[in-house]
Amino acid sequence: MSSNPSNSIKNIHKLSIAPMMDCTDKHFRMIMRKISSEALLYTEMIVAQSLVYTNKKENFLDFNSEEHPISIQFGGDDPKILKEAAQMAEDWGYDEINFNVGCPSPRVCSGNFGASLMKDPKKVAKCIESLKNNCNLPVTIKHRIGVDNDDSFTKLNNFVRIIANAGADRFTVHARKAILKGLNPKQNRTIPPLNYDVVKKLKNFNPKLLIEINGGFTNIDESLEALNDFDGVMIGRSVYNHPLRWAEIDQRVYGINTKSKSASAIIFSLVPYIEKHLTNGGKSWDICKHLINLVEGIPKAKIWRNQISTKSIKKELDIKFLIELTSRLEEMGY
């Protein structure tokens, strides 16, 4: 098992890649690990109840050893079920556990977890206590600055202090409130305005707490500036849609003397992984749907992406064809 004690969280996780449904599966995480050896990676949100009651737990828990450091994110509201989920996460070798109190999906909220739980800090505290008391991993929480009209700073600060007393090791704060009635999840990522000042005020009121900010960061310069005020920065859609914009994370954020990789170098380094996946019966599209985002802003990028996509969807892509196309990128210096 490879785990990071909570007293080292601040130094290790200056930048993290947000948990995103249908995005941050193990294949995308492998791509990101080729870009950065240091950034903290997250699973997609896993409903704790689904994990506990399934017979195929590996479908939820499986990850590649190269993905460390990696955090598993749980959604739920039942401390007893979260107890079992925490024990599984530790046994499986995750580095930390994150509890989701930020997802605005109607499907999630109808199950009384996600952002709707911010309205019940005592229940959240019991969930955090259950996670903390049943594993030796750091337990963190991701939440919004408010929900619907419950968005005063007093309520946010009260929520955070209750959860801190329950044992949360780090707070990842999405600097938007969640609007549960009238907006869908996609709209909740953009329409509620960002309010970094609220999160900065929260940090100033709670200087001893580890507070990471999330929401709207599009490049490393913005992230470095935010690190002057916060203990960490979480990046979401920008890193998924434009992964090579973040190719200098290790050098600029962590001070590691290493060269940033080109798109072709990253793809070539993934060939053994892709080959193994195909040999084990996996589909090329499982990986290529993430891989295509590496190639943008260069001559004939759209053609390259279309060729990869079409071949993958038709189940006609093989390693030889992928290497051939990637070699063309390399010849152009990409």
320 in the same domain as 209: no
Q: Is residue 12 domain-shared with residue 156, that is, in the same domain?
A: yes
- Whose tokens are 């007893």? That residue is 80
Domain assignment of residue 269, given as a range: 263-331
Token pair 């109840």 is at which residue? 49
Q: Which helix or strand (DSSP H or E) is residue 102 part of?
A: none
Last residue of a domain, one of 252, 287, 318: 252
Report the C-alpha gap between 321 and 307 in whole angstroms.
Answer: 10
The label of the residue with tokens 């920065």 reads: 233
Residues 286 and 202 both lie in one domain: no
User: Does one domain contain both 279 and 148?
Assistant: no
Q: How far apart are CA 12 and CA 220, in angstroms?
A: 17
Residue 258: inside a domain = no
Extract the residue ranges of the chain whose pLDDT is less than 50.
1-8
Q: Determine if the peptide bond prior to 69 is cis (ω within 30°).
A: yes
Distance CA 326, CA 27 (A): 18
CB 129 within 8 A of CB 79: yes
Tell me 89's DSSP state: H
Phi first, then psi: give them for residue 124, nearest 5 degrees.
-60, -40
Which letter does DSSP use for residue 261 in this model? P
Residue 147 sits in the same domain as residue 216? yes
Boundary (domain end) residue, out of 252, 276, 302: 252
Catalytic-residue membership of 23? no
SS3 category, 252: helix
Q: What letter represents residue 164's amino acid? A: A
User: Closest by alpha carbon to 99, among 177, 189, 171?
Assistant: 171
Q: Which CATH number is 105's domain given?
A: 3.20.20.70
Q: Identify the pLDDT of residue 189.
A: 77
- Angstrom distances, CA of residue 276 to CA of 226, 266, 319: 39, 16, 10
- SS3 percent helix, strand, coil of the chain, rounded to 5, is 50, 15, 35
| Residue 110 and residue 49 share a domain | yes
The pLDDT of residue 107: 57
- Of 103, 109, 127, 288, catalytic: 103
The predicted-structure confidence for 145-183, as pLDDT tens digits, reads as follows: 999 888 899 999 999 999 999 999 999 999 999 888 777
What is the Cα–Cα distance from 157 to 200, expressed in whole angstroms?
A: 12
Model pTM score: 0.93
41-42 and 15-17 beta bridge pairing? unpaired
